[in-house]
Structure 1
Amino acid sequence: MKFDFHTHHERCGHASGSVRDYIEAARNNGLHMIGISDHTPFFAASEDRPSLTGSMAKSDFPGYIQEVLALKKEFAGSIEVLLGIEADFLPEHLDLYREVIASHPFDYVIGSVHDFAGIGIYDSEYWESLSPERKLETKNLFYDYIAQSAKSGLYDILGHVDSLNRYFYGYSELRTEAADRTLKTIADSDVVIEINSSDDNWVPDGYFLERAFHYGVKVTFGSDAHEPERVGEHFEAIGKQLYDIGYREWAVFRNRERFMVPIER
């Protein structure tokens, strides 16, 4: 079975193409399941859309739900379309997000850390300004946020875990016991992590995935595609990497239920 659970589209302001474009690209690429998982609005903000490139507007959210559900019916029989969402982990607003998400028929929810303790995951200049000791503290703090997101019970999938490896030079060389503590928390919370193939720089890396396998952490796949032509990108190669590590199955979702399917070599 070929699938992709992490895709965006034009509503979020930093991706191109319509929802239909991503579904058609997935079908043309031989996928059996395609998840649409654009960014939630900033529900706690007073403005309809405080960032034109950060997420969809609150006023766009009902249309997003309706469109994906309609396309799910339209494409039934040729490809299974799943209604997903990517929700930032915002500890101070968990109850609000929990209430909104519970009121819609999502097939799965991705939880992602984009900011932690006022630090943005893309802020490489901030990282470069830190001493080696502060870099390690920052990495440990990031892992703490990941662990908190796992324990929240709000998410089915944790998105682009260890994403700092893409933007913070030397991040992967900083070994810390916090990684193992976080992976144990993820396993105990029974939440899945995705292998994210965006930008041709997969995260988590092989070392982290080997530790994840050791702790029994379940995995799935998401391209994090922001252009339709990147849907399903590197699916087979990532499956091979996981198989070589020792994984024999990965997770798919439907109606907030998880099903394990074989990794095909």
Structure 2
Amino acid sequence: MKTIDYHMHTCFSGDSEANPREHVLQAIKMNLDEICFTDHRDFDYPIDSFELDVENYYQTIQSLKEEFKDKIKIKWGIEIGLDLDHKEEINQLIAQYPFDFVIGSIHVIHHTEFYYGEFFKNKSKEQAHQEFFEETLKCVQEFDCFNVLGHLDYIVRYGPYQDKSVDHQKYQDIIDEIFKTLIKKGKGIEVNTSGYRDLKTCGFPNFEQVQRYYDIGGRIITVGTDSHTSDRVGENCLTVVKKLKEIGFNDVSTFTLQVKDLMTID
């Protein structure tokens, strides 16, 4: 199986100062087969007004792709914040540029975000998690402009609760519908290795949910670190790949111009 990092942020994202060239050098050091840059674009982040400079971002990654073409395969992508209040703008942006790969993530729900805690005000943990998964289902039903759903358990990172963990059994019917919708649409999920930092034991989503996705019929899957600093590029990617093979996956998925590349069966 290939070892990839398909979720990386650089200085083109508002929450990173990383030099993309340093990401490439670290990926080579980690013996990765392929990487994809996926800097942020959210149309309604209530506190931060940063807007991705797509043209400069594209030219920078294309230059790196040429420079390192004999050492590592580099792809150009984006992490788009799926937001039902901005469906037209999101679809227009993705259609406008030749992205290799698009992560669709839920960062904002009805003008409230998770990072600074606005979303969690006056909600119990169960109410917050229920709303998060319900909104995720609505987004994967409504949007077609992405390749994989980003960090399904993203909600775990935040919230003013002593125990932030998700009791998946309470929401399994919704999560199963998310998986079934993705599979029907020919889309997949990612395993986001930042979960090892936050949960200490696994990625987002956890491997029980990845197994469930596989058992339902899901075969499109990527691995990404969600790295915002170069030292985290490739972190735990090999560990995840080994676990995916145990679950039954033949290979991770890679993309060119949003079309899934032919997979190598090991």
SS, match of residue 12 in structure 1 = coil
- 1:147–1:186 CA contact under 8 A, matched in 2: no
Please, which of 216, 229, 232 is the counterpart of residue 230 of structure 1? Answer: 232
* Aligned counterparts of 2:42 and 2:60: Cα–Cα separation in 1: 16
In the TM superposition, residue 188 of structure 1 has moved relative to its aligned partner by 1.4
Query: Which residue is equivalent to 2:167?
Result: 173
Please, which of 47, 51, 61 is the counterpart of residue 48 of structure 2? Answer: 51
Determine if the alignment matches structure 1 residue 111 to structure 2 residue 104: yes
Q: C-alpha root-mean-square deviation of aligned residues, in Å?
A: 2.6
Change (3 A) 1:122 1:253: same
* Aligned counterparts of 2:155 and 2:262: Cα–Cα separation in 1: 28
Query: Which residue is equivalent to 1:221?
Result: 223
SS, match of residue 8 in structure 2 = coil
1:50-87 CA distance string (max 9 Å, x none) = 726xx4x35x3211111111221222121111110111
- 1:249–1:260 CA contact under 8 A, matched in 2: no
Determine if the alignment matches structure 1 residue 70 to structure 2 residue 50: no
2:131 aligned partner, one-letter code: L
Aligned positions, number: 253
Query: Which residue is equivalent to 1:146?
Result: 136
Change (3 A) 1:40 1:170: closer
- 1:36–1:84 CA contact under 8 A, matched in 2: yes
In the TM superposition, residue 242 of structure 1 has moved relative to its aligned partner by 2.0
- 1:195–1:204 CA contact under 8 A, matched in 2: yes
2:154 aligned partner, one-letter code: S
Deviating more after overlay: 75-84 vs 92-101: 92-101
Query: Which residue is equivalent to 2:194?
Result: 198
- 1:150–1:189 CA contact under 8 A, matched in 2: no
Query: Which residue is equivalent to 1:122?
Result: 115
1:187 aligned partner, one-letter code: I
- 2:14–2:40 CA contact under 8 A, matched in 1: no
SS, match of residue 110 in structure 1 = strand
Query: Which residue is equivalent to 2:40?
Result: 39
* Aligned counterparts of 2:78 and 2:164: Cα–Cα separation in 1: 31
Q: Structure 2: 5+ residue runs without aligned partners?
A: none
Determine if the alignment matches structure 1 residue 207 to structure 2 residue 208: yes
In the TM superposition, residue 144 of structure 1 has moved relative to its aligned partner by 2.4
